[in-house]
Chain A
Amino acid sequence: MRELYATELEELENLLQEEGKLVDRAIRGALNALARDDLELVGELIAFDDEVDRRYLAIEQGIPSLLARQTPVAGDLRLVLAILYVNLHLERIADYCVTIAKLVKLAQGLPRDAGVLEALEEMGERCREMLSTGLEDFHNRDVRNPEALVDMDKPIDRANRKLIARLIALGPDESQREWAMRMMLVSRCLERIGDHAVDIGEQTAYLVRGRFEEFTDASHETSRPA
Protein backbone atom coordinates (compact mmCIF):
# COMPACT_ATOMS: atom_id res chain seq x y z
CA MET A 1 0.00 0.00 0.00
CA ARG A 2 1.05 3.56 -0.73
CA GLU A 3 3.83 2.32 -3.03
CA LEU A 4 4.98 5.71 -4.23
CA TYR A 5 5.20 7.00 -0.70
CA ALA A 6 7.19 3.97 0.44
CA THR A 7 9.55 4.38 -2.50
CA GLU A 8 10.10 8.05 -1.78
CA LEU A 9 10.89 7.35 1.85
CA GLU A 10 13.31 4.64 0.83
CA GLU A 11 15.00 6.95 -1.66
CA LEU A 12 15.49 9.59 0.99
CA GLU A 13 17.13 7.09 3.27
CA ASN A 14 19.34 5.73 0.50
CA LEU A 15 20.41 9.24 -0.30
CA LEU A 16 21.31 9.74 3.34
CA GLN A 17 23.47 6.62 3.44
CA GLU A 18 25.13 7.70 0.21
CA GLU A 19 25.85 11.07 1.77
CA GLY A 20 27.27 9.24 4.78
CA LYS A 21 29.72 7.31 2.59
CA LEU A 22 30.85 10.54 0.92
CA VAL A 23 31.36 12.14 4.32
CA ASP A 24 33.46 9.19 5.40
CA ARG A 25 35.62 9.71 2.32
CA ALA A 26 35.90 13.37 3.21
CA ILE A 27 37.21 12.50 6.69
CA ARG A 28 39.67 10.06 5.21
CA GLY A 29 40.78 12.66 2.68
CA ALA A 30 41.23 15.27 5.39
CA LEU A 31 43.33 12.85 7.45
CA ASN A 32 45.45 11.99 4.40
CA ALA A 33 45.97 15.62 3.52
CA LEU A 34 47.04 16.24 7.09
CA ALA A 35 49.38 13.26 7.24
CA ARG A 36 51.02 13.92 3.87
CA ASP A 37 50.80 17.68 4.02
CA ASP A 38 49.30 17.38 0.54
CA LEU A 39 48.11 20.71 -0.93
CA GLU A 40 46.67 19.12 -4.05
CA LEU A 41 44.45 16.90 -1.91
CA VAL A 42 43.31 19.97 0.02
CA GLY A 43 42.02 21.50 -3.19
CA GLU A 44 40.26 18.28 -4.13
CA LEU A 45 38.67 18.05 -0.70
CA ILE A 46 37.22 21.53 -0.89
CA ALA A 47 35.75 20.69 -4.29
CA PHE A 48 34.52 17.33 -3.01
CA ASP A 49 32.37 19.10 -0.44
CA ASP A 50 30.05 20.13 -3.27
CA GLU A 51 29.26 16.44 -3.80
CA VAL A 52 28.17 16.13 -0.20
CA ASP A 53 26.19 19.35 -0.42
CA ARG A 54 24.28 18.05 -3.43
CA ARG A 55 22.98 15.11 -1.40
CA TYR A 56 22.38 17.35 1.55
CA LEU A 57 20.24 19.72 -0.52
CA ALA A 58 18.35 16.91 -2.24
CA ILE A 59 17.30 15.53 1.15
CA GLU A 60 16.63 18.99 2.53
CA GLN A 61 14.23 19.67 -0.35
CA GLY A 62 12.76 16.19 -0.48
CA ILE A 63 11.55 16.26 3.12
CA PRO A 64 9.17 19.25 2.97
CA SER A 65 7.76 17.85 -0.25
CA LEU A 66 7.17 14.47 1.35
CA LEU A 67 5.68 16.05 4.47
CA ALA A 68 3.32 18.19 2.42
CA ARG A 69 2.16 15.50 0.03
CA GLN A 70 2.17 12.34 2.10
CA THR A 71 1.75 13.60 5.69
CA PRO A 72 3.75 10.79 7.24
CA VAL A 73 2.75 9.80 10.76
CA ALA A 74 3.95 7.41 13.45
CA GLY A 75 7.10 5.47 12.48
CA ASP A 76 7.23 7.16 9.09
CA LEU A 77 7.09 10.58 10.68
CA ARG A 78 9.93 9.68 13.02
CA LEU A 79 11.98 8.35 10.12
CA VAL A 80 11.53 11.56 8.15
CA LEU A 81 12.46 13.71 11.14
CA ALA A 82 15.46 11.52 11.92
CA ILE A 83 16.65 11.75 8.32
CA LEU A 84 16.26 15.53 8.52
CA TYR A 85 18.54 15.72 11.56
CA VAL A 86 21.09 13.10 10.50
CA ASN A 87 21.36 14.94 7.18
CA LEU A 88 22.23 18.09 9.08
CA HIS A 89 24.82 16.28 11.17
CA LEU A 90 26.47 14.78 8.10
CA GLU A 91 26.66 18.13 6.43
CA ARG A 92 28.32 19.62 9.48
CA ILE A 93 30.87 16.80 9.61
CA ALA A 94 31.69 17.46 5.96
CA ASP A 95 32.14 21.14 6.81
CA TYR A 96 34.61 20.24 9.54
CA CYS A 97 36.57 18.22 6.97
CA VAL A 98 36.81 21.30 4.79
CA THR A 99 37.95 23.30 7.78
CA ILE A 100 40.66 20.71 8.48
CA ALA A 101 41.73 20.89 4.83
CA LYS A 102 42.00 24.65 5.05
CA LEU A 103 44.01 24.36 8.29
CA VAL A 104 46.41 21.98 6.53
CA LYS A 105 46.88 24.60 3.88
CA LEU A 106 47.53 27.30 6.49
CA ALA A 107 50.02 25.07 8.32
CA GLN A 108 51.98 24.47 5.11
CA GLY A 109 55.73 24.72 5.61
CA LEU A 110 55.57 24.99 9.40
CA PRO A 111 57.58 22.56 11.54
CA ARG A 112 55.52 19.45 12.27
CA ASP A 113 55.45 17.09 15.22
CA ALA A 114 55.09 13.42 14.38
CA GLY A 115 53.57 12.50 17.76
CA VAL A 116 50.82 15.08 17.42
CA LEU A 117 50.07 14.00 13.86
CA GLU A 118 49.84 10.42 14.97
CA ALA A 119 47.43 11.34 17.74
CA LEU A 120 45.27 13.33 15.31
CA GLU A 121 45.32 10.42 12.86
CA GLU A 122 44.18 8.16 15.66
CA MET A 123 41.36 10.54 16.57
CA GLY A 124 40.29 10.75 12.95
CA GLU A 125 40.14 7.00 12.54
CA ARG A 126 38.02 6.79 15.67
CA CYS A 127 35.69 9.36 14.18
CA ARG A 128 35.34 7.33 10.99
CA GLU A 129 34.55 4.26 13.05
CA MET A 130 31.89 6.15 15.01
CA LEU A 131 30.33 7.53 11.86
CA SER A 132 30.07 4.14 10.19
CA THR A 133 28.70 2.57 13.37
CA GLY A 134 26.16 5.38 13.68
CA LEU A 135 25.00 5.07 10.08
CA GLU A 136 24.91 1.28 10.18
CA ASP A 137 22.83 1.28 13.37
CA PHE A 138 20.52 3.82 11.78
CA HIS A 139 20.13 1.64 8.72
CA ASN A 140 19.50 -1.48 10.79
CA ARG A 141 17.34 0.35 13.36
CA ASP A 142 19.74 -1.14 15.87
CA VAL A 143 19.53 0.19 19.41
CA ARG A 144 20.92 -2.84 21.18
CA ASN A 145 23.84 -0.76 22.35
CA PRO A 146 22.83 2.87 22.03
CA GLU A 147 25.51 4.11 24.39
CA ALA A 148 28.32 2.49 22.37
CA LEU A 149 28.83 5.70 20.47
CA VAL A 150 29.13 7.64 23.71
CA ASP A 151 31.79 5.21 24.86
CA MET A 152 33.62 5.55 21.55
CA ASP A 153 33.47 9.32 21.84
CA LYS A 154 35.11 9.42 25.26
CA PRO A 155 38.67 8.56 24.08
CA ILE A 156 38.35 11.24 21.41
CA ASP A 157 37.47 13.83 24.02
CA ARG A 158 40.33 12.62 26.19
CA ALA A 159 42.76 12.73 23.28
CA ASN A 160 41.64 16.24 22.49
CA ARG A 161 42.40 17.37 26.05
CA LYS A 162 45.74 15.58 26.16
CA LEU A 163 46.74 16.99 22.81
CA ILE A 164 46.39 20.51 24.10
CA ALA A 165 48.92 19.86 26.85
CA ARG A 166 51.27 18.36 24.32
CA LEU A 167 50.89 21.24 21.90
CA ILE A 168 51.61 23.78 24.61
CA ALA A 169 54.79 21.87 25.44
CA LEU A 170 55.99 21.98 21.80
CA GLY A 171 58.25 24.95 22.19
CA PRO A 172 58.57 28.71 22.20
CA ASP A 173 59.37 29.12 18.54
CA GLU A 174 56.80 31.30 16.76
CA SER A 175 56.29 28.97 13.80
CA GLN A 176 55.96 26.04 16.17
CA ARG A 177 53.35 27.95 18.14
CA GLU A 178 51.48 28.75 14.94
CA TRP A 179 51.48 25.11 13.87
CA ALA A 180 50.34 24.11 17.35
CA MET A 181 47.41 26.50 17.19
CA ARG A 182 46.37 25.20 13.76
CA MET A 183 46.54 21.65 15.05
CA MET A 184 44.50 22.61 18.08
CA LEU A 185 41.76 23.64 15.74
CA VAL A 186 42.11 20.40 13.77
CA SER A 187 41.76 18.52 17.03
CA ARG A 188 38.71 20.57 17.90
CA CYS A 189 37.16 19.75 14.51
CA LEU A 190 37.70 16.03 15.04
CA GLU A 191 36.22 16.26 18.52
CA ARG A 192 33.12 17.92 17.08
CA ILE A 193 32.85 15.27 14.37
CA GLY A 194 32.72 12.69 17.15
CA ASP A 195 29.92 14.63 18.87
CA HIS A 196 27.89 14.71 15.66
CA ALA A 197 28.33 10.96 15.30
CA VAL A 198 26.91 10.54 18.81
CA ASP A 199 23.95 12.69 17.78
CA ILE A 200 23.28 10.36 14.85
CA GLY A 201 22.99 7.57 17.41
CA GLU A 202 20.44 9.66 19.31
CA GLN A 203 18.35 9.90 16.15
CA THR A 204 18.46 6.13 15.75
CA ALA A 205 17.23 5.74 19.30
CA TYR A 206 14.42 8.25 18.63
CA LEU A 207 13.47 6.47 15.44
CA VAL A 208 13.19 3.12 17.14
CA ARG A 209 11.91 4.05 20.59
CA GLY A 210 9.68 6.94 19.67
CA ARG A 211 10.97 9.43 22.19
CA PHE A 212 13.95 11.67 22.08
CA GLU A 213 16.62 11.48 24.75
CA GLU A 214 20.03 13.06 24.77
CA PHE A 215 22.74 10.52 25.49
CA THR A 216 24.95 13.11 27.16
CA ASP A 217 23.68 16.38 28.39
CA ALA A 218 26.13 18.74 30.04
CA SER A 219 23.42 21.02 31.41
CA HIS A 220 21.69 18.17 33.21
CA GLU A 221 24.71 16.28 34.41
CA THR A 222 25.54 18.96 36.92
CA SER A 223 22.01 19.82 38.03
CA ARG A 224 20.77 16.24 38.31
CA PRO A 225 20.31 15.35 41.97
CA ALA A 226 22.67 12.69 43.22
Chain B
Amino acid sequence: MEVIKTKIDLGRERLPTGEQEAVFEARDVSVYYGDQRAIDKVNIDIYRRLITAIIGPSGCGKSTFIRTLNRMTDLVPSARLTGELRYRGIDLYGPGVDAVEVRRRIGMVFQKPNPFPKSIYDNVAYGLRILGMKKDLDERVEKALHSAALWDEVKDRLKDSALGLSGGQQQRLCIARAIAVEPEVILLDEPASALDPIATSAIEDLMHDLKRDYTIVIVTHNMQQAARVADMTAFFGLNVTPEGSREGILVEYDKTEKIFTNPSDKRTEGYVTGRFG
Protein backbone atom coordinates (compact mmCIF):
# COMPACT_ATOMS: atom_id res chain seq x y z
CA MET B 1 0.00 0.00 0.00
CA GLU B 2 2.72 2.46 0.96
CA VAL B 3 4.58 1.78 -2.27
CA ILE B 4 1.53 2.60 -4.36
CA LYS B 5 1.07 5.82 -2.44
CA THR B 6 4.61 7.03 -3.12
CA LYS B 7 4.18 6.27 -6.79
CA ILE B 8 1.02 8.32 -7.04
CA ASP B 9 2.71 11.25 -5.32
CA LEU B 10 5.78 11.19 -7.57
CA GLY B 11 4.41 13.80 -9.93
CA ARG B 12 4.36 16.35 -7.19
CA GLU B 13 7.65 15.68 -5.52
CA ARG B 14 9.11 18.92 -6.88
CA LEU B 15 6.31 21.08 -5.68
CA PRO B 16 7.34 23.43 -2.92
CA THR B 17 7.74 22.00 0.51
CA GLY B 18 9.12 23.77 3.50
CA GLU B 19 12.67 23.37 2.22
CA GLN B 20 12.06 24.43 -1.40
CA GLU B 21 14.44 27.24 -2.25
CA ALA B 22 12.81 30.54 -3.14
CA VAL B 23 14.72 32.25 -5.94
CA PHE B 24 12.68 35.43 -5.83
CA GLU B 25 11.13 36.84 -2.70
CA ALA B 26 8.88 39.80 -3.24
CA ARG B 27 7.84 41.70 -0.16
CA ASP B 28 5.24 44.45 -0.53
CA VAL B 29 6.44 45.19 -4.03
CA SER B 30 4.58 48.10 -5.61
CA VAL B 31 5.42 49.59 -8.99
CA TYR B 32 4.51 53.09 -10.05
CA TYR B 33 4.52 54.74 -13.46
CA GLY B 34 4.78 58.36 -12.47
CA ASP B 35 2.02 58.87 -9.92
CA GLN B 36 0.02 55.94 -11.20
CA ARG B 37 0.40 52.73 -9.21
CA ALA B 38 0.52 49.75 -11.56
CA ILE B 39 0.81 46.97 -8.99
CA ASP B 40 0.20 47.19 -5.29
CA LYS B 41 2.05 45.32 -2.54
CA VAL B 42 2.82 42.01 -4.15
CA ASN B 43 4.14 39.31 -1.85
CA ILE B 44 5.30 36.16 -3.54
CA ASP B 45 8.02 33.52 -3.38
CA ILE B 46 9.09 32.06 -6.69
CA TYR B 47 10.73 28.68 -6.36
CA ARG B 48 13.83 27.23 -7.96
CA ARG B 49 13.46 24.98 -10.99
CA LEU B 50 9.73 25.20 -11.12
CA ILE B 51 7.57 26.80 -13.75
CA THR B 52 5.59 29.64 -12.24
CA ALA B 53 2.76 31.04 -14.33
CA ILE B 54 1.33 34.51 -13.87
CA ILE B 55 -2.22 34.87 -15.13
CA GLY B 56 -4.78 37.63 -14.92
CA PRO B 57 -6.92 40.01 -16.96
CA SER B 58 -5.46 42.76 -19.15
CA GLY B 59 -4.03 45.63 -17.20
CA CYS B 60 -3.54 43.63 -14.01
CA GLY B 61 0.17 44.36 -14.05
CA LYS B 62 1.37 40.85 -14.78
CA SER B 63 3.75 42.04 -17.50
CA THR B 64 4.91 44.88 -15.28
CA PHE B 65 5.61 42.43 -12.50
CA ILE B 66 7.65 39.98 -14.60
CA ARG B 67 9.67 42.94 -15.90
CA THR B 68 10.57 43.96 -12.39
CA LEU B 69 12.20 40.56 -11.94
CA ASN B 70 15.08 41.40 -14.28
CA ARG B 71 14.83 45.17 -13.99
CA MET B 72 13.50 45.66 -17.49
CA THR B 73 11.17 48.17 -15.82
CA ASP B 74 14.25 50.40 -15.48
CA LEU B 75 13.87 51.15 -19.18
CA VAL B 76 10.71 53.10 -18.49
CA PRO B 77 12.06 56.38 -17.09
CA SER B 78 9.01 57.10 -14.94
CA ALA B 79 8.86 53.61 -13.41
CA ARG B 80 9.58 53.31 -9.70
CA LEU B 81 9.52 50.37 -7.32
CA THR B 82 8.86 50.28 -3.61
CA GLY B 83 9.06 47.35 -1.25
CA GLU B 84 11.73 44.71 -1.45
CA LEU B 85 12.48 42.24 -4.21
CA ARG B 86 15.23 39.77 -3.34
CA TYR B 87 16.88 37.47 -5.83
CA ARG B 88 18.65 34.62 -4.07
CA GLY B 89 18.86 36.77 -0.99
CA ILE B 90 20.18 39.89 -2.70
CA ASP B 91 18.02 43.00 -2.95
CA LEU B 92 17.59 43.41 -6.72
CA TYR B 93 16.96 47.13 -6.36
CA GLY B 94 19.56 47.66 -3.66
CA PRO B 95 22.43 50.14 -3.97
CA GLY B 96 25.26 49.06 -6.22
CA VAL B 97 23.22 46.41 -8.02
CA ASP B 98 23.84 46.71 -11.74
CA ALA B 99 20.74 46.17 -13.87
CA VAL B 100 22.93 44.92 -16.74
CA GLU B 101 24.40 42.20 -14.54
CA VAL B 102 20.92 41.34 -13.26
CA ARG B 103 19.68 40.83 -16.79
CA ARG B 104 22.61 38.63 -17.66
CA ARG B 105 21.61 36.22 -14.91
CA ILE B 106 17.89 36.55 -15.50
CA GLY B 107 17.06 36.20 -19.18
CA MET B 108 13.86 37.18 -20.88
CA VAL B 109 11.88 36.11 -23.92
CA PHE B 110 9.19 38.40 -25.28
CA GLN B 111 5.71 38.16 -26.66
CA LYS B 112 6.64 38.73 -30.28
CA PRO B 113 9.64 36.77 -31.54
CA ASN B 114 12.39 39.37 -31.93
CA PRO B 115 15.41 37.82 -33.60
CA PHE B 116 18.07 40.23 -34.80
CA PRO B 117 18.28 40.69 -38.57
CA LYS B 118 21.39 38.53 -38.53
CA SER B 119 22.12 34.90 -39.29
CA ILE B 120 20.75 32.15 -37.08
CA TYR B 121 24.25 31.51 -35.78
CA ASP B 122 24.97 35.17 -35.06
CA ASN B 123 21.70 35.57 -33.19
CA VAL B 124 22.74 32.93 -30.68
CA ALA B 125 26.39 34.04 -30.68
CA TYR B 126 25.50 37.70 -30.19
CA GLY B 127 25.28 37.70 -26.42
CA LEU B 128 28.19 35.28 -26.08
CA ARG B 129 30.48 37.54 -28.11
CA ILE B 130 29.56 40.75 -26.35
CA LEU B 131 29.72 39.21 -22.90
CA GLY B 132 33.14 37.76 -23.67
CA MET B 133 32.10 34.10 -23.66
CA LYS B 134 33.95 33.52 -26.88
CA LYS B 135 35.68 30.28 -25.92
CA ASP B 136 34.17 27.27 -27.73
CA LEU B 137 31.70 29.59 -29.42
CA ASP B 138 30.56 26.94 -31.91
CA GLU B 139 29.88 24.42 -29.18
CA ARG B 140 28.01 26.94 -27.07
CA VAL B 141 25.81 27.95 -29.99
CA GLU B 142 25.09 24.32 -30.82
CA LYS B 143 24.30 23.49 -27.22
CA ALA B 144 21.90 26.41 -26.90
CA LEU B 145 20.15 25.45 -30.14
CA HIS B 146 19.92 21.86 -28.89
CA SER B 147 18.45 23.02 -25.60
CA ALA B 148 15.89 25.09 -27.47
CA ALA B 149 14.95 22.02 -29.54
CA LEU B 150 15.87 23.86 -32.71
CA TRP B 151 19.20 22.33 -33.71
CA ASP B 152 17.86 19.63 -36.01
CA GLU B 153 15.77 22.15 -37.90
CA VAL B 154 18.53 24.71 -38.48
CA LYS B 155 21.86 22.85 -38.36
CA ASP B 156 22.19 22.96 -42.14
CA ARG B 157 21.43 26.63 -42.50
CA LEU B 158 23.12 28.36 -39.58
CA LYS B 159 24.35 31.12 -41.90
CA ASP B 160 20.85 31.89 -43.19
CA SER B 161 18.98 34.91 -41.91
CA ALA B 162 16.97 34.28 -38.78
CA LEU B 163 14.14 36.27 -40.33
CA GLY B 164 13.55 33.38 -42.74
CA LEU B 165 12.43 31.09 -39.91
CA SER B 166 8.79 30.50 -39.04
CA GLY B 167 7.30 32.35 -36.08
CA GLY B 168 7.58 29.32 -33.82
CA GLN B 169 11.17 28.70 -34.86
CA GLN B 170 12.01 32.35 -34.34
CA GLN B 171 10.63 32.18 -30.81
CA ARG B 172 12.68 29.07 -30.05
CA LEU B 173 15.69 30.88 -31.50
CA CYS B 174 15.02 33.71 -29.07
CA ILE B 175 14.93 31.16 -26.27
CA ALA B 176 18.21 29.69 -27.55
CA ARG B 177 19.70 33.18 -27.62
CA ALA B 178 18.57 33.75 -24.04
CA ILE B 179 19.90 30.46 -22.68
CA ALA B 180 23.19 30.69 -24.60
CA VAL B 181 24.51 33.20 -22.08
CA GLU B 182 23.73 30.72 -19.29
CA PRO B 183 21.24 32.60 -17.19
CA GLU B 184 19.80 31.16 -13.99
CA VAL B 185 16.23 32.21 -14.60
CA ILE B 186 14.22 32.56 -17.79
CA LEU B 187 11.32 35.00 -17.86
CA LEU B 188 8.79 34.45 -20.62
CA ASP B 189 6.36 37.28 -21.34
CA GLU B 190 3.47 35.70 -23.23
CA PRO B 191 5.89 33.71 -25.36
CA ALA B 192 3.31 31.84 -27.39
CA SER B 193 0.61 34.42 -27.88
CA ALA B 194 1.74 35.15 -31.44
CA LEU B 195 2.11 31.48 -32.38
CA ASP B 196 -0.16 28.82 -33.84
CA PRO B 197 -1.15 25.79 -31.72
CA ILE B 198 1.59 23.51 -33.05
CA ALA B 199 4.33 26.05 -32.42
CA THR B 200 2.77 26.69 -29.03
CA SER B 201 3.00 23.00 -28.15
CA ALA B 202 6.64 23.00 -29.16
CA ILE B 203 7.34 25.92 -26.83
CA GLU B 204 5.43 24.25 -23.99
CA ASP B 205 7.35 20.98 -24.45
CA LEU B 206 10.53 23.00 -24.45
CA MET B 207 9.61 24.73 -21.19
CA HIS B 208 9.07 21.37 -19.62
CA ASP B 209 12.56 20.27 -20.69
CA LEU B 210 14.18 23.51 -19.57
CA LYS B 211 12.68 23.16 -16.12
CA ARG B 212 15.43 20.68 -15.30
CA ASP B 213 18.07 23.40 -15.35
CA TYR B 214 16.26 26.71 -15.06
CA THR B 215 13.74 28.52 -12.96
CA ILE B 216 11.01 29.65 -15.33
CA VAL B 217 8.44 32.39 -14.89
CA ILE B 218 5.84 32.78 -17.61
CA VAL B 219 3.19 35.43 -18.10
CA THR B 220 0.30 34.12 -20.13
CA HIS B 221 -3.24 35.18 -20.88
CA ASN B 222 -3.96 31.64 -22.03
CA MET B 223 -5.21 29.98 -18.87
CA GLN B 224 -5.09 26.52 -20.34
CA GLN B 225 -1.43 27.09 -21.10
CA ALA B 226 -0.79 27.93 -17.46
CA ALA B 227 -2.77 24.85 -16.45
CA ARG B 228 -0.72 22.70 -18.83
CA VAL B 229 2.79 23.87 -18.08
CA ALA B 230 3.01 25.52 -14.68
CA ASP B 231 3.75 23.99 -11.29
CA MET B 232 2.71 27.12 -9.47
CA THR B 233 0.22 29.72 -10.64
CA ALA B 234 -0.19 33.29 -9.47
CA PHE B 235 -3.42 35.06 -10.26
CA PHE B 236 -3.19 38.84 -10.55
CA GLY B 237 -6.45 40.72 -10.35
CA LEU B 238 -7.55 44.26 -10.99
CA ASN B 239 -8.32 46.47 -8.06
CA VAL B 240 -10.16 49.72 -8.56
CA THR B 241 -9.13 52.20 -5.90
CA PRO B 242 -11.62 54.61 -4.29
CA GLU B 243 -10.13 57.32 -6.54
CA GLY B 244 -11.06 55.25 -9.56
CA SER B 245 -7.60 54.25 -10.75
CA ARG B 246 -6.91 50.63 -11.59
CA GLU B 247 -4.02 48.71 -10.13
CA GLY B 248 -2.91 45.10 -10.15
CA ILE B 249 -2.85 42.98 -7.02
CA LEU B 250 -1.80 39.41 -6.38
CA VAL B 251 -5.06 37.69 -5.51
CA GLU B 252 -3.99 34.10 -5.13
CA TYR B 253 -0.84 32.07 -5.47
CA ASP B 254 -0.82 28.31 -5.15
CA LYS B 255 -0.09 25.04 -6.86
CA THR B 256 -1.49 25.11 -10.36
CA GLU B 257 -3.66 22.10 -9.64
CA LYS B 258 -5.23 23.91 -6.72
CA ILE B 259 -5.86 27.06 -8.73
CA PHE B 260 -7.64 25.13 -11.46
CA THR B 261 -9.62 22.66 -9.36
CA ASN B 262 -10.29 24.41 -6.11
CA PRO B 263 -9.14 28.04 -5.93
CA SER B 264 -9.47 29.63 -2.51
CA ASP B 265 -10.53 33.05 -3.75
CA LYS B 266 -13.84 33.80 -5.45
CA ARG B 267 -12.10 36.21 -7.85
CA THR B 268 -9.73 33.48 -8.99
CA GLU B 269 -12.64 31.13 -9.49
CA GLY B 270 -14.46 33.77 -11.50
CA TYR B 271 -11.46 34.40 -13.72
CA VAL B 272 -10.37 30.82 -14.40
CA THR B 273 -13.90 29.62 -15.12
CA GLY B 274 -14.51 32.74 -17.18
CA ARG B 275 -18.07 32.78 -15.92
CA PHE B 276 -18.18 35.74 -13.58
CA GLY B 277 -16.04 38.43 -12.00
Q: Which A positions have Cβ atoms within 8 angstroms of B?
A: 1-2, 5-6, 71-78, 209-211
Interface residues of B (CB under 8 A from A): 223-224, 227, 259-263, 268-269, 272-276
Known: A1-B276, A73-B272. A210 touches B262 (CB 8 A): yes
The verdict on A74 contacting B276 (CB below 8 Å), with A210-B261, A210-B262, A211-B262 known, is: no
Q: How many A-B contacts are there with CB distance less than 8 Å?
A: 39
Determine the main DSSP class of B at the interface with A.
helix
Q: Which 6 A-B pairs have the closest CB atoms?
A: A210-B262, A73-B260, A76-B273, A74-B269, A73-B272, A2-B275
Closest to A77 in B: B261
A1-B276, A76-B275, A78-B261 are known; give 15 further A-B pairs, CB within 8 A.
A1-B274, A1-B275, A2-B274, A5-B275, A6-B275, A71-B224, A73-B227, A73-B261, A74-B259, A74-B260, A74-B261, A74-B268, A75-B262, A77-B260, A211-B262
Measured in the bound complex, the distance between the Cα atoms of B276 and A123 in whole Å is 44
Contact residues in A for B274 (Cβ distance below 8 Å): 1-2, 5
Q: What's the least CB distance linking A218 to chain B, in Å?
A: 14
- Tell me the minimal C-beta distance from B89 to chain A in angstroms: 35
Residue ID in chain A nearest B258 by CB atoms? A210
Cβ-defined partner of B272 (8 Å) among A1, A5, A74, A78: A74
Q: Can you list 18 pairs linking A and B with CB atoms under 8 Å apart? A: A5-B275, A6-B275, A73-B223, A73-B260, A73-B261, A73-B273, A74-B260, A74-B263, A74-B268, A74-B272, A74-B273, A76-B273, A77-B261, A78-B261, A78-B262, A210-B261, A210-B262, A211-B262
